Chains A and B, each alone.
Chain A
Amino acid sequence: MQELSLNVLDIVQNSIRAGASLITISIQERTADHFMEISISDNGCGMSEEQVASVMDPFFTTRTTRKVGLGVPLFRMSAEGTGGTFSIRSKLGEGTTTTATYVTNHLDMLPLGDMNATMISLISVNPQLDFVYHHQVDDREFQLDTRELRAVLEDVPLSTPDVLLFIKEMIAENTAQLYGKS
């Protein structure tokens, strides 16, 4: 993957296949500490301890455990390669939280990339699911919750082009503010 936002897009596919109805994507950056954490948590079917262990191993994957493969190992590598950490907490019937932390000034740190494009892709093809996107940079934060948008939209789908454009602009404006660009 060329940027971490693509890893996020990929890991969220696991949540979708686990039957999640709510997926929370949270990014926390502490610039002075050269720290970034990405966490993806869902209320899907969850995994047993054995399944969690096997998803970490790219070569253990079989067709029957189709929700795994290279996605998790690639995400793990992206974090551990910078001296960061990686963990999966999961409970059958409750859901899964995947967390990666990064040392952002490491040579092998990938750019976070276009999280806006990732969120728009996810919402546009999964308008029936709810997403919370939370992004914090030092003491500034922004949160998008599709449940709040849905309450306003009533029966107009989130995937309506005008709505997607609205969300895209909303994320762009708020992200610029997080980085102090406006």
Chain B
Amino acid sequence: MKSLEELKAIRDKMKGSVILREENGDNIRVVVGMATCGIAAGARPVLAAFTEEVAKRHLTNVTVTQTGCIGICQYEPVVEVFEANGTKTTYIKMTPDKVARIVTDHLVNGNAVKEYTIGNL
């Protein structure tokens, strides 16, 4: 059974790396639409896939977060990627299996996956 002792060990392990994240300025924000439309269309597993993939690759400069309805409900689940230079990329009809490629190509290597974007309609 999980105990708070185990959580203390995690805390002590993480203390050093928290500072690392704060000092890293080159941030990317991954924003998942989590309104009724997004959730009904499958945003929850997409969000989970981003959180897990970003954690697995130790991308300390990436923040995965949520927003409400952005008004294109027919294309949900929608994910927006905001880069430090102001670029915004909108991915539509997202599924968990598209996530790994976006993380590798876009978040790590800086090349948006055009075929998943709204511009590719």
The answer to whether A and B assemble together is yes
Residues of A within 8 A of B (CB): 1, 6, 9-10, 13, 17, 66, 69-71, 74, 117-118, 120-121, 124-126, 148-149, 152-157, 160-164, 166, 169-170, 173
* CB neighbours of B32 from chain A (8 A): 125
* CB neighbours of A166 from chain B (8 A): 2, 6-7, 10
Question: B102 contacts the other chain (Cβ, under 8 Å)?
Answer: no
Residues of B within 8 A of A (CB): 1-2, 4, 6-8, 10-11, 13-15, 18, 32, 34-37, 39-40, 44-45, 47-48, 51, 55, 64-66, 68-69
Interface centre among A10, A71, A148 (most CB of B within 10 A): A10
**Pick the contact of A121 from B4, B6, B47 — CB < 8 Å?**
B47
* CB neighbours of A117 from chain B (8 A): 44-45, 48
Q: Is the CB of A124 within 8 A of B47?
A: yes
* CB neighbours of B65 from chain A (8 A): 125
* CB neighbours of B35 from chain A (8 A): 10, 13, 69, 71
Given A117-B44, A117-B48, A125-B65: A152 in contact with B36 (beta carbons within 8 A): no
Q: Is the CB of B14 within 8 A of A163?
A: yes
Q: Is the CB of B7 within 8 A of A152?
A: yes
Interface centre among B10, B18, B47 (most CB of A within 10 A): B10
3 closest residue pairs by CB, A with B: A161-B55, A170-B2, A125-B66
Complex: how many Å from CA A153 to CA B18? 12
Q: Is the CB of B14 within 8 A of A124?
A: no
Q: Is the CB of B34 within 8 A of A13?
A: yes
Complex: how many Å from CA A124 to CA B62? 13
Complex: how many Å from CA A74 to CA B36? 9
**Pick the contact of A155 from B10, B18, B34 — CB < 8 Å?**
B18
Complex: how many Å from CA A166 to CA B45? 18
A157 to chain B minimum Cβ distance, whole angstroms, is 7
Given A6-B44, A154-B11: A161 in contact with B51 (beta carbons within 8 A): yes
Complex: how many Å from CA A160 to CA B16? 12
